[in-house]
Amino acid sequence: MDIKRNKMGVITFLSPDFALVDENMSLLDKEIKHCMEAGEHRLVIDLNLVPYIDSKGLESLVDYYNLTRKGGGSIKVFNPNPLCNEILEITGMTKYFDIYFDLETAARSFL
């Protein structure tokens, strides 16, 4: 389990390669905390390699959303697989997160 981290200007891209479920969330929590401490408040979370999101994962995503908003930024979701996209839609998470399937569009959404 790993999280790739890339920066493009003021935008940080995080790409976890594991399910966003209760037992795994501490890994992403640590990475988000690191971003916040570094002043990185504009985040794109790439869900391409995330096979599943459970209720703890959804709760954490909302917590991250609130945290970045307090810092003057936001979180965008990029390229969720069909199951994760359906989970985000059914649970109403689309009211918190803009979902993009094109990386350039996701990056430009911060302008």
What CATH number is associated with residue 84?
Answer: 3.30.750.24
Amino acid at 33: K
Pick from 29, 6, 38, 11: nearest CA to 105: 11
For residues 65 and 32, give the distance between their C-alpha atoms in angstroms, rounded to a whole number: 10
Range of the domain at 52: 3-108
Looking at residue 91, its pLDDT comes to: 95
Cα–chain center distance at 31? 11
**Mean pLDDT, contiguous 10-residue spans, the chain (111 residues):** 92 96 94 94 95 95 92 93 95 91 88 80
Domain count for the chain, please give it: 1
Looking at residue 66, its pLDDT comes to: 93
Looking at residue 111, its pLDDT comes to: 80
